[in-house]
Amino acid sequence: MKKLLASTALIAAIALPAFAQETLDPNAVSGGNITVTYKDDVATLDPAIGYDWQNWSMIKSLFDGLMDYEPGTTTLRPGLAESYEISEDGLTFTFHLRPGVKFHNGRDMVAEDVKYSLDRVTNPATQSPGAGFFGAIAGYDAITSGEADTLTGVTVVDPATVEIKLSRPDATFLHVMALNFASVVPSEAVDAANGDFGKMPVGTGAFKLGDWTIGQKLVFEKNADYWRAGLPYLDTVTFEVGQEPIVALLRLQNGEVDVPGDGIPPAKFQEVMGDPAQAARVIEGGQLQTGYITLNVTTPPLDDVNVRKAINMAINKERITQLINNRAVPATQPLPPSMPGYTEGYAGYAYDVEAAKALLAEAGLADGFDTELFVMNTDPNPRIAQAIQQDLAAIGVNASIQSLAQANVIEAGGAGTAPMIWSGGMAWIADFPDPSNFFGPILGCAGAEEGGWNWSKFCNAEIDAEATAADSMIDPADPARMQMWSDVYMKVMEEAPWVPVFNEQRYTMKSERMGGADALYVDPVSIPVNYDYVYVTE
């Protein structure tokens, strides 16, 4: 079969030599320890289960998948796969594994482990929140329904080769294989952990788990046999949990902490940024996040597109951004600016109270109406909800605020009982840097079912079809595909099921002794930092 080289990125991938020769940072120093703090305890380090910003980067350092990203970027690169080929129809992926990769338990990683890991993550018994990402692999439906316990689409060709057949083309498949959920795990370690692999993780990553004192701290130790030569630089990373962000900041100022994992507490933000010495150690970057208000298109009068447009025009995004100390940029569309497929030059709905009133009058609601705005009850979300409430009052819309715990807001959103929801605290952050990730579950028909994350209950068959067509293209980075996605989101904006409010910026603070490129501290896939590549200078 003729192999298709879909893009330069793919050619580069195949051309890589057998042993990954990293371009190492010439200033890097090996050795030392850094201390990272978090408020929340680490729930799990099982790559099939872990799905929060805290454990995501930790799991990335303990495990590897077939694919990976260039540190500090959203560029795909091969991981445990040394190279791969994609068939012309885009349905068969053949991965050639890197030789000589060892698990932390000393055993060689082989193709059988890749198959086992994919079977495990998709098996409903594992209860993985990421199982849905693998829906394109042939045999997925049989394994989720319990008819099979192995994916028919994944074949071990020989110990160093895995072939994965898809049931439908999926442009994002290489990104999916770079997700933590696709990490390769050794079956014997999973079995030995007896249901608690999340506390006894064994992978192939740059670090292995040392001590873990539940509720207090975890220590990651350097994997001396790591297959990327020269990495990691640090000997150990210590994670201390149960620390209030404000206490973590005090300890950082005292030289006891290197990275406060929860960031700079909002109450201290201006103080830190106003002090040149401290501000110099804060690295700012974009993140693949959008904060939005959902407008339930099945609830009158929000079922009228003019009413939804009026609400879009009524919201003063600049003021809301100021409310959070300008730690965000106002948004015009669902995609964040750093996401491929973002529509440059689109201004969105400008803030215009008079035009909003006129649209409402046109919809026969000159006197406004009563509605409800659901919001998660942690700061700053109730404050933002009040600002939205005031903006709506200016056009005669009387919104009462329902401030609830996160789980209750999610429940109301899924059930479709919330007319409006401010997404803060639950906002969509991309799983991988591809525009499709902002559509299916939150704006597509699939997510509009009861219990889904499409809280607007927005379902437009025509837009859905275009999204499916875009994802059926083989090369994820194809400009034609990006154009299609841009088009999808522009059509969504015409229907106005959301008010995109802002895109949050990331601010990572580090201690003076920490080194490495700034991009590592705002790495789009490893938050707060890419532990494999940072180092200490003393």
Partner 1 sequence: MAAYLIRRLIQSALILLGVSFITFFLLYVLPADPVRQIAGRSATPETVANIRAQLGLDQPFIVQYGRYLAGLFHGDMGRSYLQKTDVATLIMSRLPASLLLMVAGIGAELVVGLTMGVVAALFRGRVLDNTLMMTSFVTVSAPQFVVALLLLYVFAVQLGWFPIGGYGTPAHLVLPAMTLGILGSGWYARMMRSSMVEVLRADFVRTARAKGLTRSRVILRHALPNAILPIIAMIGIDIGIFMGGIVVVEGVFGWPGIGQLAWQAIQRVDIPIIMGVTLVSAFAIVLGNLLADLVAPLIDPRIRIR
Q: What is the DSSP letter of 108?
A: B
Give the one residue of 27, 105, 216, 270 binding partner 1; rule: CB under 8 A: 216
Contact between 405 and partner 1 per CB under 8 A: yes
Contact between 51 and partner 1 per CB under 8 A: yes
For 114-141, the three-class secondary structure string (H helix, E strand, C coil) is: HHHHHHHHHCHHHCCCCHHHHCCECCHH
d(CA 398, CA 390): 9
**SS3 state at 84:** strand
Contact between 215 and partner 1 per CB under 8 A: yes
Task: Closer to partner 1 by CB, 386 or 408: give it.
Answer: 408
Contact between 304 and partner 1 per CB under 8 A: no
Give the one residue of 10, 34, 49, 375 binding partner 1; rule: CB under 8 A: 49
Residue 126 corresponds to which tokens in the numbers above? 């594992």
Residue 403 corresponds to which tokens in the numbers above? 């401030």
Residue 333 corresponds to which tokens in the numbers above? 């569309």
Give the one residue of 411, 466, 478, 487 binding partner 1; rule: CB under 8 A: 411
Identify which range of 160-168, 251-259, 322-330, 359-367 contacts partner 1 by CB under 8 A: 251-259
Smallest gap from Cβ 288 to partner 1, in A, equals 14
Contact between 281 and partner 1 per CB under 8 A: no
Contact between 400 and partner 1 per CB under 8 A: no
Contact between 289 and partner 1 per CB under 8 A: no
Helix (H) or strand (E) holding 36: strand 33-37
**SS3 state at 216:** coil
Task: Closer to partner 1 by CB, 142 or 353: give it.
Answer: 142
Contact between 449 and partner 1 per CB under 8 A: yes
Can you say whether residue 115 is alpha, beta or left, with left for phi > 0 and alpha for psi between -120 and 50 degrees? alpha
Task: Closer to partner 1 by CB, 45 or 499: give it.
Answer: 45
Contact between 219 and partner 1 per CB under 8 A: no
Give the one residue of 82, 113, 240, 471 binding partner 1; rule: CB under 8 A: 240
Angstrom CA distances, 459 to 46, 403, 413, stand at 34, 27, 15
Q: Which residue has the tokens 């350097």?
A: 222
How are beta strands 398-404 and 370-376 bridged, if at all? parallel
**SS3 state at 75:** coil
What is the DSSP secondary-structure string of 506-517? EEEE--TTEES-
Identify which range of 339-347, 407-415, 466-474, 479-487 contacts partner 1 by CB under 8 A: 407-415
Smallest gap from Cβ 506 to partner 1, in A, equals 21
Task: Closer to partner 1 by CB, 214 or 490: give it.
Answer: 214
- Cβ-contact 413, 455 below 8 angstroms: yes
User: Hey, what amino acid is at 519?
Assistant: A
Contact between 498 and partner 1 per CB under 8 A: no
Q: Which of residues 328-357 bind partner 1 (CB under 8 A)?
A: none
Task: Closer to partner 1 by CB, 81 or 445: give it.
Answer: 445
Task: Closer to partner 1 by CB, 46 or 532: give it.
Answer: 46
Cis, peptide link before residue 301, omega less than 30° from 0: yes
Alpha carbon 128 to its chain's center:
16
Identify which range of 13-21, 211-219, 342-350, 394-402 contacts partner 1 by CB under 8 A: 211-219
Task: Closer to partner 1 by CB, 112 or 141: give it.
Answer: 141
Identify which range of 87-95, 138-146, 221-229, 507-515 contacts partner 1 by CB under 8 A: 138-146
Q: Which of residues 93-132 bind partner 1 (CB under 8 A)?
A: 124-125, 127-132
Residue 185 corresponds to which tokens in the numbers above? 């795990």
d(CA 477, CA 41): 37
For 149-196, the three-class secondary structure string (H helix, E strand, C coil) is: CCCCCEEEEECCEEEEEECCCCCCHHHHCCCHHHCCCCHHHHHHHCCC
Q: Which of residues 191-210 bind partner 1 (CB under 8 A)?
A: 195-199
Q: Which residues bind partner 1 (CB under 8 A)?
A: 39-41, 43-44, 46, 49, 51, 124-125, 127-133, 135, 144-146, 195-199, 213-216, 240-244, 246-247, 250-251, 253-254, 256, 405-408, 410-412, 414, 440-442, 446, 449-451, 453
